[in-house]
C-alpha cells in the first residue's frame, strides 16, 4: 500500500490522560537479511534521533548481544541515549569494549532501506539500533524535521489527529485533509 501522507488518530493512554500516535512501518536493515513488515512505531516529536530497540522486534537476547559485539568491534558510529528507561540519569560514557557491551544507552547507526510509515515512503537511509532496550520504536525529529506536520483536534471527528507529509510532496489529498480536519486551506499555506 502506498500513501502520500500520514493521518493518525491519537491513541489514549489507559488512564485517559494524553496519548500517542502509533503507525505501522516496513523496512529493511543493513544487518538483517529479512525485511520487517507491519511493525508498530510511535511518532515522537520529543525524540531527537529515531531508534529501533531490536528486542521490540522479538530479536533474541543472544542475537542482540552478538550484533552489539560486532558493532562495538567494528567501531560502528553510536550515540548515547538516556531516556525514560534510564530515568534520564546520565552515566559515565563507556570507554572500553567491555564497558560498551554493558552500556544499555548505546544506539548504533545503521542503514535502513525500503522504509515506509503507513505506506508513505521515508527518504531517510539511516536509523539507530539499540540492542539492550525493549521500549517503543520511536520516529523522532531526525526524520520528522523534513515533514510538514499538523497536530490538532479534527473538526470532523473531534479527536486529536496527526497529519504529516514529506516537505515538497504536499499533494492535493494532503491539502484536502488539512482543510477538512483543521480548516487550513491551500491559500493559507
Q: What pLDDT score does 79 carry?
A: 94
pLDDT of residue 186: 64
Give per-residue burial for 100-125: e unless 16+ CB within 10 Å, then b: bbebebbbbbbebeebbbbebebeee
User: What sign does the CA torsion over 14, 82, 112, 4 have?
Assistant: positive
Q: What is the pLDDT of residue 18?
A: 86
State residue 109's pLDDT score. 97
Please give the pLDDT value at position 114.
96
Q: Give the per-residue pLDDT at 168.
A: 83
Report yes or no: 50 and 140 within 8 Å, Cβ to Cβ: yes
| Local confidence pLDDT in tens for the 189 residues of the chain | 688 999 999 999 888 888 999 999 999 999 999 999 999 999 999 899 999 999 999 999 999 999 999 999 999 999 998 765 555 566 678 999 999 999 999 999 999 999 999 999 999 999 999 999 999 999 999 999 999 999 999 999 999 999 999 988 778 899 999 999 999 876 555
Amino acid at each position: 500500500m502506498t500513501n502520500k501522507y500520514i493521518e493518525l488518530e491519537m491513541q489514549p493512554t489507559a488512564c485517559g490522560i494524553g496519548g500517542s500516535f502509533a503507525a505501522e512501518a516496513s523496512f529493511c536493515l543493513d544487518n538483517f537479511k529479512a525485511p520487517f513488515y507491519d511493525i508498530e512505531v510511535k511518532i515522537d516529536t520529543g525524540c531527537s534521533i529515531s531508534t529501533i530497540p531490536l528486542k521490540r522486534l522479538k530479536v533474541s537476547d543472544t542475537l542482540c548481544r552478538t550484533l552489539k559485539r560486532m558493532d562495538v568491534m567494528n567501531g560502528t558510529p553510536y550515540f548515547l541515549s538516556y531516556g525514560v528507561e534510564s530515568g534520564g540519569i546520565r552515566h559515565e560514557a563507556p570507554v572500553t569494549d567491555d564497558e560498551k557491551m554493558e552500556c544499555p544507552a548505546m544506539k548504533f547507526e545503521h542503514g535502513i532501506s525500503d522504509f515506509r510509515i503507513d505506506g508513505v515512503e521515508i527518504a531517510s537511509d539511516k536509523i539507530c539500533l539499540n540492542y539492550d532496550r525493549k521500549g517503543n520504536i520511536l520516529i523522532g525529529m531526525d526524520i520528522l524535521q523534513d515533514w510538514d506536520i499538523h497536530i490538532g483536534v479534527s473538526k470532523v471527528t473531534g479527536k486529536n489527529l496527526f497529519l504529516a507529509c514529506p516537505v515538497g510532496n504536499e499533494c492535493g489529498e494532503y491539502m484536502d485533509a488539512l482543510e477538512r480536519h483543521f480548516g487550513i486551506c491551500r491559500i493559507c499555506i
